[in-house]
Structures are given as C-alpha cells and as structure tokens.
Amino acid sequence: MLKRLGARLLWVAVLLWTIFTLVTAVVISIRILGDRDFPLGLGWIQTRGWAGLWFTVPSALLAVAGLILLWPRRTLGAKLLVAYTGFWGLSVFIGLAQSLPAIIRHPIAFCSSGTCATLPVAIALTAAFLVSAAWYGQFVFPQPGH
C-alpha cells in the first residue's frame, strides 16, 4: 500500500511539474511577444526577442496535446510528454554541461550570469524534467511482467 501511495504521489508531482512548466512556457511566450528584446536563456537555448517563440510555442503546444491525450490515448499522450520533458531536460543539461569548465575551476563559488544559484537550480531542473520523462516513458515502453 505504501508503494502504491508513493507511485501516486510521484504521478501527481510529475503532472503538476508538467502543468507548471507549461504555464511558464505560455507566460514566457507572452512576455516575448510584449518585449522584442526579451532574453530567453534556458540551458543551451540562448535567444533574444521573437526567436524564442520557436522554442516556447511549439513545446507548449506539445505539452497541451500530450496532457489532453494522456487519458483517452495514454500511449500517444505519453509520447508527446516524453518529447516535451525530454527536450527541456536535455536543454538544461546541455547548458549545465557547457558550464562544466567553470564549475570545475570554482566548484564552491560557481556563479554564472551574476547569480550563484545557477548550479543547484540547473541540477534540480534537469532532474525534474528527466524524472518526468522517465515517468511518462513507462507508458510508452511498458516493462514486461507489469
């Protein structure tokens, strides 16, 4: 029973994370539309202005479609959500990997773009996206015997 409760709590956490990041993508898209010089810096994605919409709008649409299709067509919805969470997880991870030389040189006082919270935040974001991708992936690639 405890294992089942843990699985349900993880399911709720993954779903809430997906909804939170979807809303964030929509808000960022609106901000980009209102500010032609809006700097989008998410992992390896470093753009300015409307070019950021090429990343935020399609990924938001992917997440919306995935969430809508998750219940009636679980496998298709899960595939879309694996693509959405996997894309953003890899994006943040690649951005973190690009900063690796600076992290190795100054592991205790690593600061990027004037903020020292970059490393823990990037690790947490990467983990959250990749855990979500793995969770949705269980519906795409079911384990034998489960």
> Rounded to whole angstroms, what are the CA distances from 120 to 10, 74, 111, 115?
21, 33, 11, 11
Considering the chain, what is the average pLDDT of its residues? 84
CA pair distance 120, 3, nearest whole angstrom: 29
- In this prediction, residue 118 carries a pLDDT of 63
The answer to whether residue 10 is domain-embedded is: yes
For the segment 42-47, the average pLDDT, to the nearest whole number, is: 84
Predicted local confidence at residue 146, as pLDDT: 55
Coil, strand, or helix at residue 42?
strand
Residue 40: phi and psi, rounded to 5, are -100, 110
pLDDT over 90, % of the chain? 50
Q: Which phi and psi (to 5°) does residue 114 adopt?
A: 80, 0
Q: Which domain range does residue 6 map to?
A: 2-140
How would you label 33-45 residue by residue, b for 16+ Cβ within 10 Å and e otherwise? eeeeebebebbeb
Residue 9 domain-assigned? yes
Q: Is 146 a domain residue?
A: no
DSSP 102-118: HHHHSSSS--BTTBS-H
Total structural domains within the chain? 1
- Predicted confidence (pLDDT) at residue 110 exceeds the cutoff of 70: no
pLDDT at 142 over 80: no
- Domain membership flag for residue 145: no
Bridge partners, residue 39, by sequence: 48
